[in-house]
Structure 1
Amino acid sequence: MDLSDLQLKKDVLMDLSYLIGVCHDFGKATEYFQNYIKEVDEKKRMQMKGRQETKHGLLSAIFTYFVLQEYLKDLKDQKVLNEPLCDILAVIGYLIIKRHHGNLKDARFEILDLKEDEDIEVLNRQIQSINLNEVEKVYCDLLNVDISYFFNHHQQIVKEILQKKKRIRRLREEENIQYSLITQLLYSVLINSDKVDASGIEIERNRREISSDLVDAYKVIKGYNEPDGKMNNIRNCIYDDVIFMLNELDLKQKIYSLNVPTGTGKTLTSLSFALKLRDKLKREKGFTPKIIYSLPFMSIIDQNFDEFERVFKKVNGHIPTTDILLKHHHLADIFFETKDDEFETTESLFLIEGWNSEIIVTTFVQFFHTLISNKNRTLRKYHNIVNSIVILDEVQSIPHEYWLLFKKLIDVFSRCFNTYFIFVTATQPLIFEPETEIKELVKDKSKYFSEFDRIELIPELESTPFDKFKEIVRKDIEEHKEKDFLVVLNTINSSKELYEYLKDFEIPETSYYYLSTNIIPKERLSRIKKIKAEKGRKIIVSTQLIEAGVDIDVDIVYRDFSTLDSINQVAGRCNRNYSEDKKGLVKVFVLIDTNNNDRKYYQYIYGDKAILINKTSKVLENYSKINEPLFLEITNEYYTKVKDAMADDESEKMVAYLCNLEFESIQKNFRLIKQDYEKIDVFIELDENAKRIWHEYQEIRNVKDPLERKKEFLKIKKDFYDYVISVPKKYANQVGFDEKTGIGYISKVEIDQGIGYDSETGFKRENAGGGSIIC
């Protein structure tokens, strides 16, 4: 670790972790707590549990503060650490221990909540009940402090902690987010160790080896290195450029960018670079980093994870065990295995949530809501991000209002915690300044963007009524009988209306596909696989879920107006594999809802005054058509305009929370994905398998023991959510929503009768306006 910014060396951090771990349960030495854990009468036991004297958190926190102060005095005297840092580290220890069985709170409230008179009375009784001689025997080889001094001066120590509220107030002036990172790291190390110890699970300490040449071997087996058309040659050139960069890499540089056109093999290239960087760090720096591959959408997580599995299987002859390659999102399989063991469901969940694997494929939500969190369960894996290599794929999906927040967070995290970040995208947002703050892994990326001339983009910026648009699309489909089409719309209702309109014309030898979050996840995945395997002509109508990373290839794309990065992403589905004998066509329309005062459909998503929409219009209004070699220039112009115009208020508020150690406040206010309306989950009993799963769910609900009930549900969780969609809460009565369980239900009987859910277009949104629902 490199903690030079904090003057905090690795051995000091290790000492702090050790002292916090040794002290965190000091309060359990009281007679009150010992009587409580020995009591066999459950009624008496619950009465004892509720007493203030039985609780051990506050006493343990005050003792930890005392021990850390004694330790830090020497470092301050030796000028190893400066005084402000020593002051705050002892407070951090107090905060961590006080909440190690709950969630982190705001530092200022934790100090203010310490009631001098009331709490000291309880502490007096607790300390008087402790056998000092026995405690000294326990701690004699663990701590170099005078515990009897603590017993005699604990009231003075409490008053000293109360005075630290002045120090907490001064944090606002320092504007230093490192303190919050240190707090979260030490908290993570403590709670993870505590939970592992309590679980009794044996976690393998020996790291698993992965060949740094894994992707190289895969490319040879698949024949990807052989000359095979312009597209494959470009992919190989980009791959070679990136891998060559390792030779001249300065390991002090920790933030990188892989910014190349869509369809050029970014997934495998970034994985290979990360594996080789991992090997380089092991040889030159003496540590082996985990690789965390994070993406914005679950659909492409499954796609990329499957590709990683194929790489391992082709090269090694078998799919890797979970301790090597892990997929983690809230709907992933709950299964964990090593080369020697296969774990039960609850043990698997514990290991998965701790990120106890070499390569973790996960969501932006999982990743960023760990970096920015106060929650015990979430922060348990925080320490496993330290010393890792983090690949942020499709990084343009990060909301622009958080650019400043993530810039500061990633910059400090990378430097302080020796963590390497790789931004992967075809449309690089200006979160970091090119060259000065972020290092390009391709020396001349403009060369690759200029080599591609796969598509022509035509922006039709005059408003077009939706009915007229439907006719334009139909005529184009009829006229170009040999072409595949993709139409991407902004709302579910408009996409359903267009799909049903086109299907009515029954064009021969044409397969129709509909995609949106209105369809259950199981069916969405099945349709994407069918689209990719389709040999005949296909017409796809979709919402924006089709955009980033979904590996399909069509000839003509229609897109309802959106942000430029979104338009660019959907353009990446057009002539993706670079057929040189034809050129793809992308047409962008500003569609209006004539049933709602000619409101533009994009306003249902972005509102009336969205910066991103405004800047997209400003960029595109200068062009009647745009060829692909211009995409890089136009994208840079767009992001420059966005950066110049955007307000940093939201980011600055979050940064202030971090600087002030206001963990609960940031948890309440930070949302990577914002919802404009309340949603509910609905189980769709679409087939016999769903019927069986719903029956199992009903049986599990009748299990009285909550821990056993949770354990049984975990066994069916993935299969269960394959049939669950989210809909606006206004449809609660329509779907029989159960407030107690938090889920609605549409039965197979209803579906067979044409009620509630359509097998092609999904949930039936009765009485909904044309643009009222997005996604």
Structure 2
Amino acid sequence: MSSLSKMYSHLDKLLVDHLQKVGNSCRQNLFLKKLNLDGYIDFDILKDISYLIGVSHDFGKATVYFQEYLKEKNESKKMEMKNKAEVHHSFISALFTYYVIKKYLLAKDLLSEKYYQYLPVIGFLVVKRHHGNLDDAFNEVILDSKDEKVLEKQFNAIDFKIINNIYNQLFSKINFKFDYNFFRDNIINAKPIYIYNEIDRYEKKYIRDLNHQEKKLINNLNEEDTLFYYFTTLLLYSLLLDADKTDAANLQEIKRIKIDKDIVDDYKLYLFKDINKKKKEINKIRNEIYNETINSLQRLNLEKDKILSLNVPTGTGKTLASLSFALKLKAKIEQEKKYKPRIIYSLPYLSIIDQNFAIFEDVFKFFLKGKTPNSNLLLKHHHLSDVNYTTSDTGKEEFENLSPKDIGKDLLLIEGWNSEVIITTFFQFFYSLISNRNKSIRKFHNIVNSIVILDEIQAIPHYYWLLLNKIIHFLAEKFNIYFILVTATQPLLFNEKEKEIEPLIKDKEKYFKALNRVELKYNSESLCLNDFQKILEEDLCNNLNKDFLIVLNTINSSLEIYNFICQLELEDTEIYYLSTNIIPKERLRRIKKSREKSKKQKIIISTQLIEAGVDLDVDIVYRDFAPLDSINQVAGRCNRNFSQNKGLIKLFILKEEEKKKEYYRYIYDSFIISKTKDVLKEASKKQIEEKGFLSLNNSYFDRVNQGKADDEAKEILEEVKKLNFGELDKFKLIQDTYKKIDIFVETDEKGREIYQKYKDLSLIKDLFKRKNEFLKIKKNFYDYVISIPHQYATDFIVEDKAIGHISLEEIKQNNYYDPETGFKREEGSVGGTLIY
């Protein structure tokens, strides 16, 4: 190799061009951010560090080994070369990055400064894992003799005259001069192990220093230094990943869009003009809450008030109020602070993502005069989302006809959260903050400076309150992320009395008292299902003009009650069964059907998937025992629209006939169950009405907060402190109680066609093409998939397939799956889990 034009990073891309574009993109994306790092590091220095990481990350591709591999046309030989250690470039690039950042900081006389001295090691970690997942920092400094020999071979296979020319050009952009002779003499002619040992010493010193403070850190977990190192690593890693993938895929820059801050106001005036004329009390209250929410922006201090709450009763329009407030906050930040925040709306349950996305889509359709918003304006992202990213430039409609290359680009844009408003799950959001995974962390830099709406925040497990309190505090203060916690039952993640959180509604008690829609009756005696059925039958027969929602804790108990009600043969009654036993497509159809107006009585039997956010309105609710926040959520489905007749919630403790074990024990934490019982025991001495729910909730969360153990939160914070990224899989929003298997259920001809397409994928030898062909059918495919406990799945596992299968013929023969009640479980099994 004798010229720059012969050295490539990718088949169609010169190495120098790729390094330049990635470095520029890292620096520019960081330049657009507003961070409050005074007292830590100079922002201009951090921008230069991000640039150095970008231009150094593929240094190792300059070896003869990599260049020969890249140009090899024989596929089998290329695969053989790919597996050779000498071809791998991340490790040697990481060493180079470490050395470059260290020399840069030395030139600035900053290397010995407290917050700068670990930046070379962070650069090393980020580059070493830019094609994988971050590992524990200390594990990265383990080097054996084979690694050392590979490094020597790689260094000796680099033409340093070409590299010198490349980096003279790249480093001149930030007025940094690099001593290549020193680098060559001290690294190439010496042993690479020396630089590695230097990293090892740095790492040990850092951890030793931290361990001296260990007791202090455990007692005072708001220690910011450790979070600074952790989130700086995430930020630099995210910037590199996004820049590298974007340039490698030749993606065009997605232009930001300006949104009118008043579109929700205009939408409400248009949509609800006839409804508001009816002057129903509920509409008056909804309007008051909406107006107070958006007007609260006038009193907020943008520098101090970054953790906010919207705590109002269920069914009072929190979704539109929070979106409108966020749009107005976005406009105010753009005007006063001169940066453009994205809005991230995050929910805990897949079951309500589509419902809320439809509301947002309607708002933006109104704004666009009937046109569907493109993905750069409104984006939905969860693991079952469509992989189709549209902009006004692409206008893509026929997803089936897209090429694998187009699909790959779409997936990159979606997973990078390249949109003004993103609707996503808690899973996607929180695993971008607490994770070691390349795919999750890539979008972190687009979370920085954003406005995050956390809806149904009570779904966060109590044992993570401390962890999220510390992380959210740091991100709000240092990374200028505004958090809006939206709920009817506000947990004590933050202490309002100590000004940790600013309420948008000052006198929320006024609204809870005004909306006295329901009464709660609690039966503290344990009942077997037979006794429960007798009570239920009498109530159903005496209230033929009322709609019922019956929520059970397990699938089997829900099936027993469903079958019992069907046997009653009630006239003029529509009966709906909902649980994870039913394929998602059919569940959604039943929810939509149950919401339609009908002259017939409606009886809905469900597991707890129905309780949060699903827009139902019934007269009477029966609920098997659950934590208080779950009881509150299901109460929100009762007399939701504040009719003249007060709704009724009947709370029971149901147990198995033989084992005498309460069903709640299978799915709920005993700690929060005991706190719920304590609160209800005290409250049931008098009538429990909705107007008393706020004080009931406050009492409950006070007890939870006082009695909760913080061991799990502290353990994860310890791993964060030491940059033990590999240990962060301890963070689990969803606790796996038992192993589950996915089963594809062919309930109709369309399902049969989709499964046949899935089977045909095995004929595609190219893994990349096979993956992208699956992405075309992914959303429709998972409409037919249920997850069942492993012990029931052995008959359905298909050889060489990662998923089980029940055919349409088997269903027609009355085997395995019932169209009404779903998957057929063995007699006496319990099963049933929360939908998250």
Shorter-normalised TM range: over 0.9
Q: Is the 8 A contact 2:60 2:88 kept in 1?
A: yes
Q: Deviations over 1:631-655 (max 9, x none)?
A: 0001000001001111000111111
Q: Is the 8 A contact 2:256 2:376 kept in 1?
A: no
Aligned match of 2:130: 100
Could you tell me how far 1:516 is from its partner in structure 2?
0.6
Q: Is the 8 A contact 1:208 1:358 kept in 2?
A: yes
- AA aligned to 2:374 is T
Residue 267 of structure 1, aligned match among 319, 331, 338 = 319
Could you tell me how far 1:377 is from its partner in structure 2?
1.6
- AA aligned to 2:822 is G
Aligned match of 2:756: 695
Query: 1:566 & 1:107 partners in 2: Cα distance?
Result: 40
Aligned match of 1:296: 348
- The alignment partner of 2:432 has SS state of helix
Between Structure 1 and Structure 2, how many residues are aligned?
A: 762
Aligned match of 2:444: 382
1:251 aligns with 2:302: yes
Q: Deviations over 1:557-603 (max 9, x none)?
A: 01000000000000010100111x2100001001111122x111101
1:161 aligns with 2:223: no
Distance 1:620 1:401, change over 3 A: same
Could you tell me how far 1:30 is from its partner in structure 2?
2.0
Query: 2:612 & 2:167 partners in 1: Cα distance?
Result: 56
Query: 2:350 & 2:832 partners in 1: Cα distance?
Result: 20
User: Which residues of 2 match residues 612-691 of structure 1 at below 5 A?
Assistant: 612-624=672-684, 625-667=687-729, 669-691=730-752
- AA aligned to 1:13 is L
Query: 1:630 & 1:680 partners in 2: Cα distance?
Result: 43
Residue 650 of structure 2, aligned match among 563, 575, 587 = 587
Q: Is the 8 A contact 1:227 1:233 kept in 2?
A: no
1:333 aligns with 2:386: yes
Residue 257 of structure 2, aligned match among 208, 229, 233 = 208
Aligned match of 1:366: 428
Q: Deviations over 1:251-292 (max 9, x none)?
A: 122110000000000000000001011100100011111111
Instruction: Answer with 650-659 or 121-130: which moved more.
Output: 121-130
Aligned match of 1:410: 472
Distance 1:50 1:709, change over 3 A: closer
- AA aligned to 1:16 is I
Q: Is the 8 A contact 1:465 1:594 kept in 2?
A: yes
Q: Deviations over 1:511-536 (max 9, x none)?
A: 11111111110011111111111323
Q: Is the 8 A contact 1:76 1:86 kept in 2?
A: no
Instruction: Answer with 418-427 or 332-341: which moved more.
Output: 332-341
Could you tell me how far 1:353 is from its partner in structure 2?
1.0
Q: Is the 8 A contact 2:816 2:823 kept in 1?
A: yes
Aligned match of 2:53: 20
Aligned match of 1:774: 833
Query: 1:337 & 1:727 partners in 2: Cα distance?
Result: 35
- The alignment partner of 1:754 has SS state of coil
Distance 1:247 1:76, change over 3 A: farther
User: Which residues of 2 match residues 296-695 of structure 1 at below 5 A?
Assistant: 296-317=348-369, 318-342=371-395, 344-435=406-497, 436-536=499-599, 537-579=601-643, 581-596=644-659, 598-606=660-668, 610-624=670-684, 625-667=687-729, 669-695=730-756
Could you tell me how far 1:623 is from its partner in structure 2?
2.9
Residue 724 of structure 1, aligned match among 785, 805, 810 = 785
Query: 2:327 & 2:487 partners in 1: Cα distance?
Result: 19
Query: 2:503 & 2:429 partners in 1: Cα distance?
Result: 23
- AA aligned to 1:315 is F
Instruction: Answer with 83-92 or 296-305: which moved more.
Output: 83-92
- AA aligned to 1:190 is L
1:285 aligns with 2:348: no
Q: Deviations over 1:679-735 (max 9, x none)?
A: 00111111111111112212222222221111111111111110110000111223x
Q: Is the 8 A contact 1:414 1:420 kept in 2?
A: yes
Q: Is the 8 A contact 2:37 2:43 kept in 1?
A: no
Q: Deviations over 1:172-203 (max 9, x none)?
A: 43651221111111111101111111112223
Query: 1:75 & 1:425 partners in 2: Cα distance?
Result: 49
Instruction: Answer with 169-178 or 142-151: which moved more.
Output: 169-178
Could you tell me how far 1:53 is from its partner in structure 2?
2.8
- The alignment partner of 2:117 has SS state of helix
- AA aligned to 1:715 is K
Could you tell me how far 1:127 is from its partner in structure 2?
2.4
Could you tell me how far 1:483 is from its partner in structure 2?
0.9
Q: What RMSD, in angstroms, separates the aligned Cα atoms of the two structures?
A: 1.7
Q: Is the 8 A contact 1:235 1:265 kept in 2?
A: yes
Q: Is the 8 A contact 1:336 1:342 kept in 2?
A: no
- AA aligned to 2:358 is D
Q: Is the 8 A contact 2:762 2:770 kept in 1?
A: yes
Query: 1:190 & 1:226 partners in 2: Cα distance?
Result: 54
Aligned match of 1:217: 266
With normalisation by structure 2, the TM-score equals 0.89
Distance 1:106 1:558, change over 3 A: same
- AA aligned to 2:783 is D
Distance 1:527 1:142, change over 3 A: same
Query: 1:333 & 1:44 partners in 2: Cα distance?
Result: 36
Query: 2:205 & 2:114 partners in 1: Cα distance?
Result: 9
User: Which residues of 2 match residues 227-242 of structure 1 at below 5 A?
Assistant: 228-242=279-293
Query: 2:132 & 2:436 partners in 1: Cα distance?
Result: 9
Q: Deviations over 1:605-653 (max 9, x none)?
A: 126xx11000000000023330111100010000010011110001111
- AA aligned to 1:707 is F
- The alignment partner of 1:680 has SS state of strand
Could you tell me how far 1:764 is from its partner in structure 2?
0.6
- The alignment partner of 1:370 has SS state of coil
- The alignment partner of 1:514 has SS state of strand
Q: Is the 8 A contact 1:132 1:148 kept in 2?
A: no
Q: Is the 8 A contact 2:789 2:831 kept in 1?
A: no
Distance 1:91 1:525, change over 3 A: same
With normalisation by structure 1, the TM-score equals 0.96
Query: 1:461 & 1:30 partners in 2: Cα distance?
Result: 73
1:55 aligns with 2:68: no
Query: 2:118 & 2:744 partners in 1: Cα distance?
Result: 49
Aligned match of 2:22: none
Instruction: Answer with 132-141 or 517-526: which moved more.
Output: 132-141
Structure 2 residue runs without a partner (length 5+): 1-33, 218-222, 397-405
Structure 1 residue runs without a partner (length 5+): none
- Percentage of identical aligned residues: 50
